Amino acid sequence: MLSRSKARAWITFCLHVWWCARGGGAQNAKDVILLDSKAQQTELEWISYPPNGWEEISGLDENYTPIRTYQVCQVMEPNQNNWLRTNWIEKGDARRIFVELKFTLRDCNSLPGVVGACKETFNLYYQETDSEMGRGLREDQYVKIDTIAADESFTQGDLGERKMKLNTEVRVIDSVTRRGFYLAFQDVGACIALVSVKVYYKRCWSIIENLATFPDTTTGSEFSSLVEVEGMCVSDAEEEADNSPKMHCSTDGEWLVPIGKCICKAGFHQKGDACEPCGRGFYKSSSQDLQCSRCPAHSFTDREGSWRCDCEDGYYRALSDPPSVACTRPPSAPQNLVYNTNQTTVNLEWSPPADTGGRNDVTYRVGCRRCSWEPEECVPCGPTVGFSPAQAGLVDTYVNIVDLLAHANYTFEVEAVNGVSDLSRTQRLFAAVSIATGQAAPSQVSEVIKEKVQQRSVQLSWQEPQQPNGVITEYEIKYYEKDQKDRIYSTVRSKSTSATVNNLKPSTAYIFQIRAFTEAGFGTFGPRLEITTKEEATAAIVSSEQNPVIIIAVVAVAGTIILVFMVFGFIIGRRYALAGPIDSPLLHCGYSKADQEGDEELYFQFKFPGTKTYIDPETYEDPNRAVHQFAKELDASCIKIERVIGAGEFGEVCSGRLKLPGKRDVSVAIKTLKVGYTEKQRRDFLCEASIMGQFDHPNVVHLEGVVTRGKPVMIVIEYMENGSLDAFLRKHDGQFTVIQLVGMLRGIAAGMRYLADMGYVHRDLAARNILVNSNLVCKVSDFGLSRVMEDDPEAVYTTTGGKIPVRWTAPEAIQYRKFTSASDVWSYGIVMWEVMSYGERPYWDMSNQDVSDASPSERSEFTL
Ligand code: AMP
């Protein structure tokens, strides 16, 4: 048997050798130590039973630090059962406990004289308890962990030296459920030195991974189970959407399988394991962006941690603009705005703005205002005006504007806009043009109502077109039998908004369409209206209306009469044209205003020629009769004088309103006869009304009536808003298109042709004697017999006697006082020159004498 002291000395020696060879005991920093026998320098005072079994022995490690060991070596005697129990080990939050044993074990063969009883293993046990137990030791309460054998035992070397091997064995106690436990070592007859006992569990230590902090985490209880741990984002970081950070703590105390991550918030970027604010002049708009970026053009930030940069003054960012794009500004005005008018249609075209404001979303919008001829008075165009392709949001640089009013003045403003235009409070920049529209045909006649349907006639009424575009002088009713193959149609004309169409067949379906006529021509026909005439009452009753023999006879007689009138009228007309007015008592007597008042003329077989002829009021013995023959006597109470607009030869000219019973009130010009007039002056004054009252044409100023039975004596005329043409043109110099100017001339020509057809010679046709209304319609005015001599400031005395407006008058009229429609045509030529030159003085500064001395060919050299 090995004596105790010998064995101790031997083991102490061996320990020393081992420590030196090992270079010291390295400890795993991640482990949480519950018991480390080596760390304790005082006596361990574990329980050893029986007392002669395990023995606590002090030793020194390589640093000569004292360590405590337990040894047993009862190899000579059989049936050994020596127990050694540790103190109570509180487990804390450990779930899986590791027990590391370091020991040396003597090879039985190396022990001299040992037989049978020598063992080379020992057993490891544990007992779970919630608290410390007494010092008693009951074997049956222990659970065996394992039998521990040495990997290396130490023995005698080949050369006789002794080799010492330290064994390290680690065993695991899975799942300790009580608060603590004891370990116990059972020796059954081996020679062992228990150099150290270490009890520990593993932990995953707090780390920062993917900008998330994971706390210290105890490993799971069973082998291979991973503990899932949620990470917490570091400051100024946020979880990535649907991807919260997680890690798994393995039983080995390793962090495994990172899932999800945190990312630095907007305004912060990652530096190492932290988020730092973006510097000044930099921004990061989203947590998704990795880096801070420099502020885009025209923006800045003077603080740290910005998620976007602010725009410089005058620059903006649209709502849809991401913070990464430069700040921008509204575009400059479109360039080179040009227009093209065609009647009531205007085309505008322009070039893009010189400066788009730094954006590529430039569109255009068009403002439209209708202005009176006084520029300040403009109103928005309203919804009736059409814009093609659109009024706003135009991508292309053109727009077509339709349904404008005829003869109206419009201002169009084309503005370039981009995504920041509405944010800017700076003044809007646009290109503008003022355009005057030309004449246009009236719009469609709608709402046709069948007032009365008979067997052979249909009575219709309708509304005036919504846009008459001028004065409607008549309507044309077109109709045809619905089932007729070749669609031969007939027309009836009416001056009012109703008409009766006669000579229809009974029980027959007819189609009716109506269109309006103005000086600009016919409008388009309105929708078709189908009407079936009534059935014949009875076959037995044959009225004269239905008797074909009577019809033929009536038509034959009427035809003959009309033919006679046409031939007669033509001859008279020719005489008028060639010789000037004829004071014919026959014509005078034959004329009856009432005869002319029939509203309709049947056109499909005969066209009635213009039979109306001018009658010189001088031919009336009683001038009062002439006035009342041609002019309506008005009640002075129907007239409201508003203001004075000019001075006439006989008194003031005023503007005002005329409200006749049952009619809407209209604007009128009122010429007054000044108080204290002589009878001749009264006659001459009213003479103009007697002449004017005979005319009914859209281009001749219309007489509303006269007031002769009260004072002052008045002549009431339609109001012409823009006054006389010469002054109007001079005021709007260069503002009209050639088409508009020619349109004015066309109107004057139509009025003059009408007067010539009536046999009236004007004698003083000049732009100053043409009046212009708000629709730019020109009308011939200034009628009076003595007027040329007395009234016209341009009239000068000539060698032939009498005052003549030399510059406007034909040579033969100057020389021989031969005034005819032909000399009016000469004057018309001068008016053409005046219109096209915007009211220049004919022959400029040539004297009247030089003008009248110049031959016609010399005069024609005065071109514009
Ligand atoms: P008169 O006596 O016809 O030469 O008219 C004198 C001035 O009155 C004209 O030059 C016009 O400016 C004005 N005037 C005459 N008639 C009208 C009218 N119907 N509407 C508007 N202004 C008129």
Question: CATH no. for residue 709?
Answer: 3.30.200.20
Q: Which residues are annotated as a binding site for ATP?
A: 671
pLDDT at 597: 31
Which residue type sits at 162?
R
What is the CB < 6 Å shell around ligand 1? 645-646, 648-649, 653, 669, 701, 717, 719-720, 723-724, 771, 782
Alpha carbon of 323 to ligand 1 centroid (Å): 67
Of the three residues 286, 304, 327, the one that is the final residue of a domain is 327
Backbone angles phi, psi at 108, to 5 degrees: -60, -35
Which CATH number belongs to the domain containing residue 310 in this structure? Answer: 2.10.50.10
Q: Which residue has the tokens 């593993």?
A: 202
Q: Whose CA is nearest to atom 6 of ligand 1?
A: 648
Q: Whose CA is nearest to atom 17 of ligand 1?
A: 669
Range of the domain at 223: 204-264
Asked if residue 255 and residue 193 are part of one domain, the reply reads no
Peptide bond connecting 856 to the previous residue in cis, omega within 30 degrees of 0:
no
Atom of ligand 1 nearest to the CA of 650: 2
pLDDT at 580: 32
Which H or E run includes 770?
strand 770-772
- Tally of structural domains, the chain: 7
Asked if residue 181 and residue 40 are part of one domain, the reply reads yes
Asked if residue 292 and residue 251 are part of one domain, the reply reads no
Asked if residue 174 and residue 42 are part of one domain, the reply reads yes
Of the three residues 718, 739, 774, the one that is the final residue of a domain is 718
Report CA-CA distances (Å) from 443 to 446, 528, 533: 9, 15, 29
pTM comes to 0.46
Which CATH number belongs to the domain containing residue 227 in this structure? Answer: 2.60.40.1770
Q: Whose CA is nearest to atom 8 of ligand 1?
A: 646
pLDDT at 789: 52
Whether 390 is covered by a domain: the verdict is yes
Which CATH number belongs to the domain containing residue 528 in this structure? Answer: 2.60.40.10
Cβ neighbours of residue 475 under 8 Å, at least 6 residues apart?
445, 462, 493, 494, 495, 496, 497, 499, 514, 515, 516, 517
CB 533 within 8 A of CB 453: yes
Alpha carbon of 243 to ligand 1 centroid (Å): 88
Atom of ligand 1 nearest to the CA of 688: 3
Q: Whose CA is nearest to atom 2 of ligand 1?
A: 648
pLDDT at 6: 46
Burial 332-348 (b: 16+ CB within 10 A, else e): bbbeebebebebbbbeb
Asked if residue 306 and residue 321 are part of one domain, the reply reads yes
Cβ neighbours of residue 843 under 8 Å, at least 6 residues apart?
807, 850, 851, 859, 862
Helix/strand/coil (H/E/C) assignment for every residue in 563-581: HHHHHHHHHHHHHHHHHCC
Asked if residue 622 and residue 513 are part of one domain, the reply reads no
Asked if residue 272 and residue 258 are part of one domain, the reply reads no
Residue 615: how many other CB atoms lie within 10 Å: 25
Tokens representing residue 103 in the block: 């020991």
Asked if residue 196 and residue 131 are part of one domain, the reply reads yes
Whether 516 is covered by a domain: the verdict is yes
Active-site residue, selected from the candidate residues 187, 236, 684, 764: 764
Alpha-carbon span 505 to 510, nearest angstrom: 9
Whether 91 is covered by a domain: the verdict is yes
Q: Whose CA is nearest to atom 5 of ligand 1?
A: 648
Asked if residue 287 and residue 219 are part of one domain, the reply reads no
Alpha carbon of 199 to ligand 1 centroid (Å): 125
Three-state DSSP state, 466 = coil
Atom of ligand 1 nearest to the CA of 718: 19
What spatial distance separates the first Cα and last Cα of the chain, rounded to whole Å? 152
Give me the helix-helix angle, 738-758 and 821-836, nearest 10°. Answer: 170
Which CATH number belongs to the domain containing residue 108 in this structure? Answer: 2.60.120.260
Asked if residue 182 and residue 74 are part of one domain, the reply reads yes
Asked if residue 390 and residue 492 are part of one domain, the reply reads no
Alpha carbon of 635 to ligand 1 centroid (Å): 22
Of the three residues 533, 549, 571, the one that is the final residue of a domain is 533
Whether 583 is covered by a domain: the verdict is no
Tokens representing residue 31 in the block: 């482990």
Atom of ligand 1 nearest to the CA of 720: 20
Q: Which residues are annotated as a binding site?
A: 671
pLDDT at 554: 37
Alpha-carbon span 14 to 150, nearest angstrom: 15
Residues of the chain with pLDDT under 50: 1-27, 158-160, 539-611
Alpha-carbon span 199 to 196, nearest angstrom: 10
Asked if residue 236 and residue 143 are part of one domain, the reply reads no
Q: What is the DSSP letter of 243?
A: B
Q: Whose CA is nearest to atom 10 of ligand 1?
A: 724
Q: What is the pLDDT of residues 776-812, one digit of tens each?
A: 899 999 987 555 555 667 777 766 666 789 999 999 9
Whether 575 is covered by a domain: the verdict is no
Alpha carbon of 370 to ligand 1 centroid (Å): 26
pLDDT at 252: 81
Whether 552 is covered by a domain: the verdict is no
Atom of ligand 1 nearest to the CA of 721: 21
Three-state DSSP state, 801 = coil
Alpha carbon of 654 to ligand 1 centroid (Å): 8
Whether 125 is covered by a domain: the verdict is yes
Cβ neighbours of residue 554 under 8 Å, at least 6 residues apart?
none
Residue 302 a catalytic site member = no
Whether 290 is covered by a domain: the verdict is yes
Tokens representing residue 806 in the block: 């030399």
Best residue among 771, 788, 791 to mutate for probing ligand 1's pocket (most ligand atoms within 8 Å of CB) is 771
